[in-house]
Amino acid sequence: MKKELLIASALVSTLGAASVAQAVTATMAGSMKVGAEFDSPDTGVDTNAVLDQSNFNISLSETTDAGTTISTSFEIVDEGTVAADDDNAIKLTFTDGSALEILNAGNASGTHDIAVPGSAGEEGVAGTTTNNAPTGLDFAAGSTVLGVEWHSAADFMADGLKVSASYSTDSGAAKTETARLDSSWGVGGTYVTSAGDTAVTIGAGFSGSDLTTSTTQASADKEGFHVGVSAVTGDLTVAVGYADGDTFENILENGSNNAITGSVVKAGIKYVTGDLTLQLGTTSGEGKDRAFGGDLGTDDAHDEVDASVTYAVASGVSAVLGYTSVDQQDEGQSSTTGGSAWYIGASMSF
């Protein structure tokens, strides 16, 4: 009991809490998005569905007498089934502009991946496949909930530079046949500069993670890097990113866990003209999977093109038309899980 009381006292002292609890400052935001999707797979039957999505976000923040801001947030998302997003850290922002996230902090590598424009619609090509080609720049960045992430203040060591570092540790769960993340680390940085009338943002990150399983251990853990650049000139945004590394999947395909070695290139363009926003994006991922401890398989590939047109109908109200086309290759063979999909809908946000 004495140890618990000492820990509680230390936490209260660290946060600078007053003896009487007061209400923190709360802000809220949310949106409602409703649309119809029309999916045309390469094989099988064309389908259509109405997608009803809503989210409600609450941000909580307060500043101590010492000037440290304590903040967190949570989100309620309804995509057919109501769910609460509880992967939110407690964030301490200090007077020098640096910050520390405690618990559910994530991986610092993923914090600094470049946002690449793509379709603003909710369309997607459905299909079951064992294709493991990566499609996201942060596919090699992982973490457990028992983690912390530190963020530097702006202009760290150079004008326009901001960096982050993270570490997470073992969750303490017992080993099973299904592989899981044991611990992780990550570092990342974002550098903002200008070239004439163009604002240039460069982002990069490195990460590594250990896995644990009660069966054959992976020959390569979850680790990798990404780098990207975004250029904004007036109403035009152009971005490109590249990632390379190793990851794993928990689906016991062929009776075993799979380790995956892959890379992905993403590129996109966004242009705003009056009330119209035009977006076009491409994704090209390649990967090879294998059973833990086994030899590399043959190539998997995912090639995607997506585009959208968004029209601002009124303040906070937009109409969206989106299109996506996907080609896939699985274990060196053309896959039948590609196809195309359309989306038409509207969103309202506050």
Tell me whether residue 63 is in a domain.
Answer: no
Domain assignment present for residue 9? The answer is no
pLDDT digits (tens, 9 = 90+) for 255-264: 578 888 999 9
The pLDDT value given to residue 88: 76
Residues above pLDDT 70, as percent of the chain:
88
Contact 344, 324 (CB under 8 A): no
In a domain, 157, yes or no: yes
Burial 109-139 (b: 16+ CB within 10 A, else e): bbbbbbbbbbbbbbbbbebeebbbbbbbbbb
Print the domain residue range for 193.
37-54+107-349
Is the distance from CB of 336 to CB of 330 less than 8 angstroms?
no
Task: Taking residues 32-40, report their average pLDDT.
Answer: 93
Residue keyed to tokens 């259509």: 48
Look at residue 304 and tell me if it is in a domain. yes
What average pLDDT does the structure give for the chain?
Answer: 87
pLDDT band at 80 (very low <50, low <70, confident <90, very high): low
Q: Which of 79-88, 117-126, 273-282 has the lowest mean pLDDT?
A: 79-88
Which CATH number is 142's domain given? Answer: 2.40.160
Confirm whether 198 is domain-assigned: yes
Work out how many domains the chain is built from and give that number: 1
- Residue 276's CB is within 10 A of a number of other CB atoms, namely 11
The region of weakest confidence among 21-30, 46-55, 151-160 is 21-30
- Residue 250's pLDDT band (boundaries 50, 70, 90)? confident
As a whole number of angstroms, the distance between CA 59 and CA 17 comes to 19
How is residue 252 written in tokens? 């016991």
Q: Quick check: is 102 in a domain?
A: no
In a domain, 62, yes or no: no
Predicted confidence at residue 320, as pLDDT, reads 97
Of residues 55 and 202, the one with the higher pLDDT is 202
**pLDDT tier at 131, thresholds 50, 70, 90:** confident
Dihedral, 247, 162, 88, 118 alpha carbons, nearest 10 = -60
Q: Rounded to an integer, what distance in angstroms lies between the CA atom of residue 126 and that of residue 41?
A: 7
Residue 293 pLDDT grade (very low, low, confident, very high; cuts 50, 70, 90): confident
**What is the distance between the alpha carbons of residues 308 and 217, in angstroms, rounded to a whole number?**
43
Residue-wise pLDDT for 169-197, tens only, equals 987 888 888 888 889 999 999 999 999 99
pLDDT in tens, 96-124: 999 999 988 999 999 999 999 999 999 98
Q: For position 85, what pLDDT does the model report? A: 54
Task: Identify which of 5-14, 22-31, 205-214, 235-244 has the greatest average pLDDT.
Answer: 235-244
CA dihedral 108, 111, 113, 118 (to 10 degrees): 150
Residue 113 per-residue DSSP state? P
255 phi, psi to nearest 5 deg: 80, 15
Three-state SS sequence of 164-226: EEEEECCCCCCCCCCCEEEEEEEEEEEEEEEECCEEEEEEEEEEEEEEECCCCCCCCCCEEEE
Q: Which pair of structure tokens corresponds to residue 34?
A: 């409703």
Q: Is residue 336 part of a domain?
A: yes
**DSSP per position, 272-285:** EETTEEEEEEEEEE
Residue 246: band (very low, low, confident or very high) from pLDDT cuts 50, 70, 90: very high
